[in-house]
Amino acid sequence: MSIFLYACESWTLNADTERRIRAMEMRCYRILLSISHKEHNEEVRRRIENAIGPHVDLLTIVRQWKLKWYGHTTRSSGLAKTIMQGTVNGDRRRGRQKKR
């Protein structure tokens, strides 16, 4: 799972990405515990609890890491903070430029 979490701080989480994360996590557990794809997810979750005990799902870990990274960048004063907060100084207006 640690390979999966590499650079997850920079991901944009939307509904499709969250669905894919949950599916990948379930697929990994099914492979590791030799669980057939025909068994229901409730049975898989029960067997995971029996095998490794209570655990935090992967999506929660990704969200926590994103929040940690956001806090880290907002405390610093660098390019990442400027980009994330969108506080770029300049004279240009919003929208399309006027033709001359």
Q: Is residue 100 part of a domain?
A: no
- Residue range 21-42: mean pLDDT, rounded: 87
Q: What total of structural domains would you count in the chain?
A: 1
pLDDT at 4: 85
In a domain, 97, yes or no: no
Chain segment 38-95, per-residue pLDDT in tens: 888 888 888 888 888 888 889 999 999 999 988 888 888 888 788 777 777 777 777 8
Count Cβ neighbours within 10 Å for each residue of 46-73 and write b for 16 or more, e otherwise: ebbeeeeeeeeebeebbeeebeebeeeb
Res 20 pLDDT > 90: yes
Considering the domain boundaries, does residue 95 fall inside one?
Answer: no
Tell whether 26 is covered by a domain: yes
Contact 61, 55 (CB under 8 A): no
